[in-house]
Structures are given as structure tokens and as C-alpha cells.
């Protein structure tokens, strides 16, 4: 069963306001992450907010790795697509592997092998609270237990709070924790 996020986003502002205007990124991201945003998402503010939030998490993880483990290969960034909208530009983000847990039996064998060893994965959730969109990115350690069970161990968590600005006609990041 898929959840459609746009339904709750439309309840905050009229539908015509969502997706209008270009979001100016407040992040100082690397060139590779900047180029990972496809042109078609420029008109979809929800996807822009998600990408901006994910970029921030990815940048933090890569900066941490480069500071403490620079002699080792950078970690592969896994993101579960189950909490993202259907029109999210999965194929256009670089250095990220998306996966789903909706169809466990349909997972490729190479990914199941990775899961047996254990991976770090990021899960995205969104909710609307008091005219704010809250985007949470949570990291978990995932490992395959037996044939079809996944063990999940909690890790880091990031919360991004956006409010709609009628003046600028766009969602703005107001808090990041």
C-alpha cells in the first residue's frame, strides 16, 4: 500500500501555490550533489525539500567519513524509497542506492548478499504538524536474518522543519536538528 504525501501538503496552502517558485538552496553542497537535482524537480517543492534534506544528511556522512576514515573507501549511501513520493527523481541522484522493502522476494541477489553482511540505510518520513512539514531522515543498521527477516538497529536521526512563506510563495527551512 503506497502513501501519497501531496494530499496533506495541499491542505496547508492552495494547490496552485505548491510547486511555484524556485527554491534557493541554503546548503553549501559539493558540486556532485548540486548536479544530482534534475531540472524537472525545480517545479516540485516537496521533492526539492526532500532532496535538500537528503543532501544535508549525505554531506554530513561523507564529511564524517573524510574526517575520520579518509584512508578507506567512502560508504555506499542506501536510502529506502518506501517513504518517498512516486514522482521523486530516484534515478537522478548520484552516489546513492535506493531500495524498497515492499517486495522482499523481488530484491536482487547482490542486494540480499549486502544485507547478509549488514548495511547502513536511511529511511525518510514526512508529516504535517501545525502548518509545518516535518521531514525526518533516520539511519538504521540493517541485516538479513534467516531467509526473509531483516534486523533493524537504530542509528542517527535528522529532522528538517519547513514552513510555507506566503510572501515568497515557497516552503522554507526554518529548523534543522
Residue 1: CB atoms within 10 Å: 3
Structure confidence at residue 74 as a pLDDT band (50, 70, 90): confident
pLDDT value at position 124?
97
48-52, 56-60, 121-125, 148-152: which has the minimum mean pLDDT?
Answer: 148-152
The average pLDDT across 28-54 equals 65
Q: Which set of grid coordinates corresponds to residue 123?
A: 529511511
Model-wide pTM > 0.75: no
Burial of 35 (0-12, 13-18, 19+ CB in 10 A): exposed
- Per-residue pLDDT band at 92 (split at 50, 70, 90): low
Amino acid at each position: 500500500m503506497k502513501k501519497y504525501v501531496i494530499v496533506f501538503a495541499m491542505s496547508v496552502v492552495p494547490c496552485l501555490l505548491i510547486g511555484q517558485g524556485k527554491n534557493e538552496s541554503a546548503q553549501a553542497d559539493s558540486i556532485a550533489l548540486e548536479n544530482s537535482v534534475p531540472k524537472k524537480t525545480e517545479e516540485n517543492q516537496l521533492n526539492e525539500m526532500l532532496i535538500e534534506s537528503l543532501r544535508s544528511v549525505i554531506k554530513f556522512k561523507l564529511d564524517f567519513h573524510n574526517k575520520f576514515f579518509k584512508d578507506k573507501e567512502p560508504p555506499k549511501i542506501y536510502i529506502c524509497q518506501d517513504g518517498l513520493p512516486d514522482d521523486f527523481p530516484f534515478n537522478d541522484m548520484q552516489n546513492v542506492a535506493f531500495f524498497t522493502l515492499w517486495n522482499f522476494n523481488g530484491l536482487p541477489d547482490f542486494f540480499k548478499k549486502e544485507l547478509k553482511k549488514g548495511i547502513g540505510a536511511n529511511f525518510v518520513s514526512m508529516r504535517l504538524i501545525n502548518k509545518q512539514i516535518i521531514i525526518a531522515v533516520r539511519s538504521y543498521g540493517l541485516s538479513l536474518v534467516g531467509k526473509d527477516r531483516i534486523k533493524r538497529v537504530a542509528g542517527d536521526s535528522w529532522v528538517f522543519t519547513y514552513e510555507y512563506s506566503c510572501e515568497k510563495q515557497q516552503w522554507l527551512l526554518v529548523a534543522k536538528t
